[in-house]
Amino acid sequence: MDFRNAIDESLTWASGWFDYAATPWFFYQTAIILALFLAAKLAAQRIEPLAENRARQIKGHPGLLRVVVALLRRTDWILFTVYLLVALTLMRSITWPSRTHFISIALSLSLAWLFTSVLSRIIRNRLVGRILGWLTWIYAALVILGINDDAAAFLDSLAIPLGAVRLSALMVLKAALLLIATVWLAVVVGNYIDERVRNSEELTPSIRVLVGKIAKIGLVLVAGAIALSSVGVDLTALTVFSGAVGVGLGFGMQKVVSNFVSGVIILLDKSIKPGDTISLEGTFGWIRELRARFVSVVTRDGREYLIPNEDFITQRVINWSFSDNLVRLDVNFGVSYDADPHKVSQLAVEAAMSVRRVEADRRPVCWLTEFGESSLDFVLRFWIRDPQQGLTNVRGKVLLALWDILKKNGISIPYPHREIIIKQKGPDRSGGP
């Protein structure tokens, strides 16, 4: 019966509009609306480029610039609404209000379209913005045309009974609209909180990441629960279903869950944090970002490795800056036996001190380690505070400085010598054949 009543009311409304469209003043108003729209289009082609160039000069306010540019991209609709408002005011002053009814509706619809189109451009996610814009404008159009109650009754009549729950098209539409709006709002608020927390100097980097992720996930879950509860969905009825789905997903997503839990553990025990220099399975680099499933590690050659969180829990990780950025490096070398080992140690320390990245506060040391086969073997040890800038390059600079200073002081670096003695067998004196 509800479906039949909704159809009858819709036919009655359509019949009334057909009768109104047959009147001469409807055609007059239609011509005025089309002429004003064409005039707005032509004027916008001249105004929009000039205004947009001025707007691009806004610096330091990306949010304001986004709003201004979104408005300027709708210059034609802004001019169209202004023209309609002027035409409506003039016509109502010289004729009956009933003869401006269609212009009034066009003005209301254009204002609603202007608002929703600007809103959809402000939202960063284009798909979410377009869906929200169209749904908002459709609802506004139904309210302006006075058929929102009839449309709601029609959508509510399209229902499917699911046990004790009556699932109608109206409920699905409301749930989708509220879910998109609340989740989008939750993401915006979560990103704002995450940005504020990341800028906080009172928290450690790991706690900043943990708080930001908890805020984002928690707000999205709360937004989804609020949206579903607002349209009358009983969340307790989903417990059994969610439990069954959870068991199935648990077997199929073991690695995903393992990486997620490992990520939480990493954030809590602070074993690694953004900016740390690490080595893992031959990968040397610094941590750029901690994600829910993986850790982003950037190497010296610009490659970005996405390493699962589980690897940082189950495998051996070298964190060069876990408790301190100070890192000691060793350089092994050998000199000729003709050199004075005391002088060699002194020159090696001077060579290391001449390299900019070597710490001057922690003086390098050089020790004689072995009397080798063809050289006196030394180890030069020095400290750096910026391992994220690379280890091989600083070792190479120290070796070059060491080469220069040894060569300058006449100390040679030997290479192995091998003597080959060939013994030639003499004639056989046994008298045999």
Note the pLDDT of residue 414: 85
The mean pLDDT of 53-59, rounded to a whole number, is: 63
User: With 80 as the cut, is the pLDDT of residue 178 above it?
Assistant: no
Q: What is the pLDDT of residues 105-154, one digit of tens each?
A: 888 888 888 777 777 766 666 676 777 777 777 777 777 766 656 666 66
User: With 70 as the cut, is the pLDDT of residue 60 above it?
Assistant: no
Structure tokens at 265: 């553990």
Lowest mean pLDDT among 84-88, 287-291, 358-362, 419-423: 419-423
Q: What is the distance between the alpha carbons of residues 218 and 386, in angstroms, rounded to a whole number?
A: 37
> With bands split at pLDDT 50, 70 and 90, how would you rate the model's confidence at 1?
very low
Q: What is the distance between the alpha carbons of residues 106 and 80, in angstroms, rounded to a whole number?
A: 10
Q: What is the distance between the alpha carbons of residues 41 and 306, in angstroms, rounded to a whole number?
A: 50
Structure tokens at 191: 């990103």
DSSP E strands, 232-273? none
pTM of the model: 0.42
Q: What is the pLDDT of residues 361-416, one digit of tens each?
A: 888 999 999 998 888 999 999 998 887 777 888 999 999 999 999 999 999 888 77
User: With 70 as the cut, is the pLDDT of residue 271 above it?
Assistant: yes
Note the pLDDT of residue 56: 63
